A = this chain, B = another copy of it.
Amino acid sequence: MYRIGELAGMCEVKADTLRFYEKHGLLAPSMRTDSGYRMYTEQDANRLRFILRAKEVGFTLSEITELLSIELNKSEWACADVKGMVDDKLAQVEERIAQLNVFKTTLQALSRACCGGPESAEHCSILEALESSLTEVRCEEPGCEHGKQ
């Protein structure tokens, strides 16, 4: 059993964050001492770890709430519901990855287009691309001609 500060320290979050999660229904301590101190079990700690892992990867707290809320009411849900939720999240994650890959490609094109040297950015390909249109970034040859004059 951990007090709030212990669990927080263990998981590298602040005690305030745990109170916040409690207020928002993500994680409540399994018990309280007579004097009202929150006491977290190992199971609570595991739940917190799941929350943190999900968060690390870009799930919002309300998405995490949704995912965890089934657990409180297991018997009212069918496996299909649970799996459906996971699959929805999976689709969202894949969508997000796809989106980020688009960003990545654009950024790579921008990066490749620029010599990155100490010369003035007067004719910098990156700035020129942002000035005109991102779709026009084309300068993939290794010998960068940029800054020639």
Task: Return chain B residues, CB-CB under 8 Å to A101.
Answer: 97
A89's closest neighbor in chain B, by CB? B107
In the complex, A102 has a CB within 8 A of chain B: yes
* A141 to B122 CA separation, bound complex (whole angstroms): 59
Stretch among A9-17, A23-31, A73-81 lining the B interface: A73-81
Question: Which B residues lie within 8 Å of A4 (CB)?
Answer: none
If A46-B131, A71-B131 touch, does A120 touch B78 (CB 8 Å cutoff)?
yes
Which positions 68-120 of chain A face chain B at CB distance < 8 Å? 68, 70-71, 74-84, 86-87, 89-90, 93-94, 96-97, 99-104, 106-108, 110-111, 114-120
Q: How far is the CA of A118 from the CA of B132 in the complex (A)?
A: 54
Chain B residues contacting A147 (CB-CB under 8 Å) are 79
Residues of B with C-beta under 8 A to A116: 79-80, 83-84
Provide a sorted-by-A list of 27 A–B residue pairs whose CB atoms are within 8 angstroms.
Answer: A47-B130, A47-B131, A54-B130, A57-B102, A57-B134, A58-B96, A58-B100, A74-B121, A74-B124, A75-B120, A77-B120, A78-B119, A79-B115, A79-B117, A79-B119, A79-B124, A80-B117, A82-B121, A82-B124, A83-B111, A83-B115, A84-B116, A89-B107, A90-B107, A93-B107, A94-B104, A96-B100
